[in-house]
Amino acid sequence: MSHYAAPIRDMQFVMRELAGLQEVQKLPGCEEVSTDLVDAILDEASKFATGILAPLNKTGDVEGAKWSHGEVTTAPGWREAYRQFTEAGWTALPCDPDFGGQGLPKLVATAVMEMWKASNMAFSLCPMLTGGAIEALMLRGSDEQKAMYLPKMVSGEWTGTMNLTEPQAGSDLAAVRTRAEPQGDGTYKLFGQKIFITYGEHDLTDNIVHLVLARLPDAPEGVKGISLFVVPKFLVNADGSLGARNDVHCVSIEHKLGIHASPTCVLAFGDKGGATGTLVGEPNRGLEYMFIMMNEARFAVGMEGVALADRAYQHALAYARDRVQGTEAGVRGGPKVPIIRHPDVRRMLMLMKSQTEAMRALAHVVAAATDFAHRHPDEAVRRERQAFVDLMIPVVKGWSTENSIDIASLGVQVHGGMGYIEETGAAQHLRDARITTIYEGTTAIQANDLIGRKVARDEGRTVKALLGEMRAVVGELRGAGEAGLAAIADSLEAGVAAVDMAVEYLLATYGRDIKAASVGAVPFLELVGVVAGGWLMARSALVATRQLASGSSDTDFLGAKVVTARFYADHVLSRAAGLAHAVVKGANGALELADEQF
């Protein structure tokens, strides 16, 4: 079982050289976020992740959460770890200072978030959901709701959840049946059942603040008739103290493939007369408000993909260095060597390493763009950066999580038969990763959002602007006069052309044949991810080459950056043409069979 080591050096490189930390530090509210402060935060987060959370990852997987008579007990060590987590102020890192937060930029919080998720994904899900609930209440809650809930949620004293899914509804939120009946005093009684509620019940805190989708009696049908309500586990008195137990109860927890230590709850609202809640914002705009929370969660789930990929890579790398088996290819009669010397093991490790670095880079660049979208004084800049964020959120979520499954599977493969044995720990990363492509909307839901709202409705403006930035990097690579960089330029240029072709097809097809366009949605999402990753790996290679030429002593790290970018160009970016072909030509083969022919 390998130990987790936070990839601080790579995080620093990505934040400074690709995401533009120096520019983020100039934004209003970020002036005191010095580079030294960022480094100190990363260092302290690394200590907490490696010293407190990582040792609980395996035991949490084995012990799991337990349900008994409506109460949920978390795995051994969870309560103490959560206490330390909140006392250290980690929940408050990116939150508004008006409610006790530290107000740090999303770029910094993203790096810290990766550490939590890589060291112990099951633990990280609790503060992740709380963060999304905080964001929704910040933007749409009343002053009374903010004052009542936010200080204790920001401090971590209370946690938050998102309650969307119902047994009959699944991802079809138009089918939500939970009802909310007005009581005439500004409160509502809720009745219904929600499933798959992460940390919907636990023993970590005294209260849990549920954000719940439900229908008012006069609500229109479909998604336009859904409202959002705050329903706490315990009612809150006027003085902020806890009052009576609310009528929301956990009737069971799910038995899952992975993330065993994260309680996934079935919650019943109103079995004993109605769960008391208050309306968030305006009636029938609940889905709109919940999407605030969902977008936060989608980015965070994308970070789960990055984190689990890195954890699986570290695990496989440690095993490949230690496991001695076979002689080195081409060395007749040579000694037995660690399997890292075997070409195919090196290929697998490089696939894991290069894609993880590309995913991390993209997530950090999107995080920095979010900071600009929220904080920049120029409205035009805010709009432009928000359009980029909106375009890339489904890619960060869908591409990173799909990759994490493949990368974790490669980790098992590197271990050989031992990878299939639970004691080695490689299998846990694969099991934990498997949920990430389903969480907060499946990959197809992300992809349909990408081609519909983010490309077709936008008429391709944002994605074409991004392709323009990529073409500029191609020019820089060619102008550098390095053969290795020129080879990367060739692959990136071909990748940009592939995305361009796919975009033109979608723009021409989406309005007249949505089924044909939708067949290519997931391949298009993967295509954008692969090429965006190639763009950032190419930028990494440019920066590293220039720093080496200027005499940097960090030769191992920078040299590895150049080589890893070249590998990505040859082994990953080269897939772009095939993905574009699937987008443009793939509809007939998917749609022509009659149902009974399957």
Which residues are marked as active site? 440
286-324 in b/e burial notation, b at 16+ Cβ within 10 A? bbebbebbbbbbbbbbbbbbbbbbbbbbbbbbebbeebe
Start-to-end C-alpha separation, the chain: 43
Q: Are 85 and 16 in contact (CB under 8 A)?
A: no
CB 213 within 8 A of CB 177: no
Closest to 229 in 3D by CA, of 203, 210, 204: 210
Distance of CA 547 to the CA centre of its chain: 31
d(CA 424, CA 320) in angstroms, rounded, equals 13
Give the HSE-up count for residue 174: Cα atoms under 13 Å, Cβ half-sphere.
5
| 3-state DSSP of 408-450 | HHHHHHHHHHHHHCHHHCHHHHHHHHCCCCCCCCCHHHHHHHH
- Please answer whether residues 107 and 371 qualify as being in contact, where contact means their C-beta atoms are separated by less than 8 angstroms: yes
Say if CB 117 and CB 429 are below 8 A apart. Answer: no
8-32: burial string, b at 16+ Cβ within 10 Å, e else: eebbbbbbebbbbbeebbebeebee
b vs e for 175-192, b when ≥16 Cβ sit within 10 Å of the residue's Cβ?
A: ebebbbeeeeeebbbbbb
* Radius of gyration, alpha carbons of the chain: 24
List CB contacts of 565: < 8 A, sequence separation 6 or more. Answer: 354, 488, 537, 538, 540, 541, 544
* Separation between Cα atoms, residue 456 and residue 202, nearest integer Å: 43
